[in-house]
Structure 1
Amino acid sequence: MKQLITLLLTVGTAFSSFAQTQKAEDVFKTASMVTFDTNVKPEQLIGALIYYKPGKKDEFEYFQILSTEQLKKYEPVYNNRIIFQSMVTKETVASAKYLAFFSTSVTVTHLLEVVLEDVLDYRVPNFATEPNVKTQTFMYAENLIRKGYQVDFVDNVNYCSLTTRLFNEAKISASGNYYISADAKNYSSTSEFSTKRLISLHSINLNNLITIGGALAGSTLGGSIAKLNTAALTEKYTNKPATSDSGYFVAKTLKLGSIKTLTGEN
């Protein structure tokens, strides 16, 4: 049985839809990156180092430096809330980075139904408060920075569920299981909802901390850590501020890094 859905999408509500997308973007404003990569799990990324060469952000690597026992201490916080739900146009898709996956399939003759659910978070305390984690973090980070990498420590991983359905502009009599009416136009869809997993990483950049501590100037690791105790605990480094323009980027894949790269063996 065909289902009829009526949506009054006037110019005013179109702007409202855009505003909602911007609100949904707020979830990722403090993120370093988001990914649809299904080969990694959120729990694999919390407490990990992520690193890349400048100009090659599509070649991201990660490495988990926390032990299995350490990771057991950090249980997920379940949010289970809808943070965005709307019919969006091509323009809105283009303005929302996390919808980039659909940028080629949504044209001026389409509407995309979007439901974004915030499912859960993994968080770890500031690494500077745990001596063993801090020592290991700076040791690996120093080796990577010497090789020209940008290095971050992941202290928050968020998992969202992104559910979508695509509608095509069509006559009301056209074949389709679902219909909507918007701005005096009719749209139909023969597809059911499709769901993708979206993971965002929130991280602390270590390049500035290591430089401030003097590790790259020839200081010993112990001395660098001592100098970093205060800096690493300040809000300036532990809480990346949100900006009006989301600075995160979308990574297609994440590659598990090599221990040899972290230890300076190659």
Structure 2
Amino acid sequence: MKRTTLIASALGALLLSAQTYGAVRPQLTRIVAYAEDKETPIEVINESQETYLIQSWLEDIKGNENNLPLVLTPPVMKIGGKQEGKLRLVVLPAEIPQDRESVYWLSIQEIPPKAKDGGENKLVLAIRSRLKVFVRPKGLDKTQAADAVKSLSWTVEREGGEVWLRATNPTPYHVSFGRLELKADGTKGITLDDKTEMPAPMSSQRYVVPKNLKGKSATLTYSAVNDYGGETEVLSTVIIL
């Protein structure tokens, strides 16, 4: 009898309606802002039937929110159900690097409406979207950003028992990897864990090599994410690890 009661209770809990969803999202996966533009619009859509507030803010790549060369308005905005809203980003041209692209984080935090009394059970989570904002000074060629990945050079480093791949980026653009994979004969392709770390303009970034590939000849396959969120041409090179 007790067992039957427990099963019935469990089934009842499973039948309760619980919905988890993010209502508000940016229309793009990344933002590219040019210093010579008066402003850069950032479109946001509310896919729910209810009115939401959103709070938005900017940070540099290290998480600092103060004294940034960007202005974002409005910091708080209301968006009706099935409606679109627009944030406005203004670059302060004199305060950004003039010879290279810089990058920041944009966070968009949705604030759900107050739960109504009664009705079906509903779990509503407040979702935060976080996307990169690439800021380009006047004079930086708009057409060459997608080709920056082709200019990367790769070297192997050994330190403290670890093997690293170092990507050197001689261009004025960040390279955001879409694909970064190593494959040796007899092994499956391995996506490098830290591929989200970008080689900064006129700088370099290194990536740890999986231990099972040490000492092997491997094919490095890589691509970048372009300004529109798509993948650039896939490149490959053979490297002795």
- Fold shared, TM-score > 0.5 on shorter chain: no
Q: Which has the higher helix share?
A: 1
The alignment's TM-score, normalised by the length of structure 2, stands at 0.29
User: Normalized per residue, which structure has more strand?
Assistant: 2
- TM-score calculated relative to the size of structure 1: 0.27
Q: Of the two structures, which has the highest relative contact order with CA contacts closer than 8 Å and spacing of 6 or more?
A: 1
